[in-house]
Structure 1
Amino acid sequence: MSVQIILVFVLNFIISIIGTLAYSVRLVGVRTGKIAVSFALFNILMLVSRIAITFQVPILTKYVEKTSGGGDLLTIFNAIIIISGVATVFGALLIPTFQRILCKGVESFSADRSLSKLILHSFSKAGIRYMKECVSVPSRENVRHLTHTKLPKKIIACNLAAVALLTVGSLAPIYAGVIEPDLRATCITLASIVNGIATILMTVFIDPQLSIMTDDVIDGKCTEEEFRLCVVGLVGSKTLGTFASIVLLIPFSYLIVIAANII
């Protein structure tokens, strides 16, 4: 296996973990009462994810351009999706620990109002000791309660579809270029269509409802426990959506080839 593909796997793992941890940020905001600060600090982590995405796509595209053999490439693409799914599960296991660390970060930043001081403290002996104390595993009760709790099924279904589209949206255009090498550049530019549909689902159906639920928790109309179970359901749907994208890879690749030929 080439160094390029190993690097793609590592970057993809990082991207998927950060994307999963994002679901817990609203919980931290509700718990600390500082939603804006919670998102501001998490955006630093999201910056790492965006940088990883910036490098991942060109590296994978260059590898595909220099490699022949659709079967081997399909195996690599499927492996990328599987690694994304595994990283999502790993990120879900990290959520309780991450919540505690981010809560402390939000409280410290709100008190000191200095990002540099917060970063320095994080790498100090006291900071590292606190992070070790924050290590926790997800409660089984959360999973058990899912079967007895009325979850917003439409939001969870939309999240599953959006995650599946986003996952396949970054890979199908590249694989479509393998199917139709003469239209490789056109196929890659069509990634925005698939990602655009996923973005619409998130912007129109998911984010507004989550924002309303967040406000309801703050106003006392919804319990924090109900909101936490909703987040658990969303993380579960992200995991299923990631693995489901394996089934969508080939069909969407051919749809992109058809669209490229029509254009």
Structure 2
Amino acid sequence: MFSLNNKTAIVTGAGSGIGRAVALTFASAGAHVYVTDLNAGNAESTVEEIKQSGGGATALLCDVSNQEAVVTAFQTIGKIDILVNSAGVSHIGRADNTSSEDFEKVFRVNVQGVYNSLYTAIPLMKTNGGGAIVNLASIAAVVGLSDRFAYSMSKGAVYAMTMSVAKDYISDNIRCNSISPARVHTPFVDGFLAKNYPGKEKEMFEKLSKTQPIGRMGTPDEISKLILYLCSDEASFITGNDYPIDGGFIKLNS
């Protein structure tokens, strides 16, 4: 089950965090993974780990916010069966203290970046007879989170784009879904705590973990397993849906 043998997958933001876990999971399931990232060292590190485990992977250096760069990079691949839009940035702030520059940065990466990848990959999938797309939204798309104005905006847009693509390309055998994680323990979380709560990292980690009713953060590997299912042939009847993976946050925190 969940074999991706002979599949070609692009995973953006695959140099670290959730994207890296997805790339490793896909490779272990038999896909050749194009590890797409802005950071060459991170991309090569993911590729090396995949190859050491006997998998197939290629580093693809690309700034997803630059449409010309995305088109050039993706067209060197040709056949695309799977696209996972994982690249993204976070931001802390409210509507009245988020600068225009910060707002635009979040938009360029989290919204424009997803659009650029969809814009480029969908025609290639149509030529290939179909494909599967998973976009990373967030619980921030559907619930109010404090101090996450720009981030919430961007993930709401990801959710809306997912539904639109699912509707528009269903007759082309292209499935499109999104997932909405709550807090996931990634290197970003550790860096955030070190920067904003020096000396109190452990205390704040526990506090953030307990905001999920399940009592802990998710792991990148747990997220990657859901994405694997949604991109596999076993999920061939699933499109146009968003899947919370949130330790009960949305339904049990009210």
What TM-score, normalized by structure 2, do the two folds share? 0.31
| Higher RCO (Cα < 8 Å, 6 or more apart) | 1
Higher helix share: 1
Larger Cα-atom Rg: 1
Structure whose residues are more often strand by fraction: 2
Normalised by the size of structure 1, how large is the TM-score? Answer: 0.30
